[in-house]
Amino acid sequence: MNLAFLGAGLAVLTGLGTGLGMGFATGKAVEAIGRQPEAQGKINSMLLVGLALTESCAIYGLVIAIILIFVAK
C-alpha cells in the first residue's frame, strides 16, 4: 500500500472540520441576527466572507488529495 493514499485520506478530512466550522458560524450568525435584527446586513456580509475562507480550506484539502492519488499511480 502506498502512503500517498493514506495522505489523500487525511487531506480529505479537512472537509469534516470545514463542515463543523461552517455550521457553527451559521448558527452563531442566526443567533446574532435574532438578537439584533437591524445589524443583519453587516452580519450577513461578515458571515459570507468567513464561509468563503472556510470553504477554501476544504477545496485545498480536496486538491491535495487528488494530486496525491494521481502521483501515487
Taking the C-alpha atoms of residue 26 and residue 66, their distance in angstroms, rounded to an integer, is 29
Is the whole model's pTM more than 0.85, yes or no? no
pLDDT tier for residue 1 given thresholds of 50, 70 and 90: low
- At 4 the pLDDT is 87
Q: How does pLDDT run across 19-61, given as a tens digit for each residue?
A: 999 999 999 999 999 999 999 999 999 999 999 999 999 999 9
Q: Please name each of the domains of the chain with its CATH number.
A: 3-72 (1.20.20.10)
